[in-house]
Amino acid sequence: MAAVVRLNFACRRGLKPLFLRSTLLARPLLVSHKCQEHPYQLTTRINALHVDSVSKAASRHWTAERALSVLLLAMGPVAYFNHGPIVDFSLAAALTLHGHWGVGQALTDYVHGDAKVKIAKTGLFLLSTITFSGLCYFNYNDIGICKAIALLWGK
């Protein structure tokens, strides 16, 4: 729009250098008009043409993390009202996985370098495996997570 106004101004003045300027001004006008037409079409075409499998996996992981968080939130009230092995083992699984993924994100933020990352991620995997085993052992051989927390407040 501004380019069109400038063109008119230049024409009225009728100076030679301005004739050259007007063609330069015309170009931005053309380009921006094209951009207004095409960005949505371009992005949809790009998305359709090439989405990297790594980024797809990362995107799915992100969604899974949020889904698990919501599931864990829902488990809270259920665990409060229904003590029992199903809730105990579900809680053990959900808590361990949520913690595993959460610590994994912190590792990604703070640990750099291929070797260090590999060592850290392996250590985390071992820790999570031991954690899940320990919680399952506790649920099976002892009183279970729900009852254990309830006992702190005296049955």
Partner 1 sequence: MALILRTFVRQGVLLSRPQCGVLYRHAAPMGTTAKEEMNKFWDKNAKLNRPVSPHLTIYKWSVPMAMSITHRGTGLGLSGAISAFAVAALVLPESYPYYLDLIRSLSVGPYLIGLAKFGIVFPVSYHTYNGIRHLLWDIGKGFKIPEVYRSGYTVIGLSIITTVALLSL
Q: Which is nearer to partner 1, 10 or 97 (CB)?
A: 97
Q: What is the closest distance, in whole angstroms, from the C-beta atom of residue 22 to partner 1 in the complex?
A: 18
Name the residue type at position 89: F
**Cβ atoms of 92 and 136 closer than 8 Å:** yes
Among 8, 19, 21, 28, the residue binding partner 1 under the rule CB under 8 A is 28
Q: Which of residues 66-95 bind partner 1 (CB under 8 A)?
A: 66, 69-70, 73, 76, 95
Residue matched to tokens 């488990």: 75
Question: What angle, 0 to 180 degrees and rounded to 10, lies between the N-to-C axes of helices 114-141 and 85-110?
Answer: 170
Name the residue type at position 116: K
85-89, long-range: CB < 8 A, 24+ apart: 85/139, 85/144, 87/146, 88/139, 88/144, 88/145, 88/146, 89/136, 89/139
Q: Which of residues 89-148 bind partner 1 (CB under 8 A)?
A: 95-96, 99, 102-103, 106, 112-114, 127, 130-135, 137-138, 142-143, 148
The answer to whether residue 46 forms part of the interface with partner 1 (CB under 8 A) is yes
Would you tell me which residues interact with partner 1 (CB under 8 A)?
A: 28, 31-32, 34-36, 38-39, 42-43, 45-46, 49-50, 52, 54-55, 66, 69-70, 73, 76, 95-96, 99, 102-103, 106, 112-114, 127, 130-135, 137-138, 142-143, 148-149, 151-153
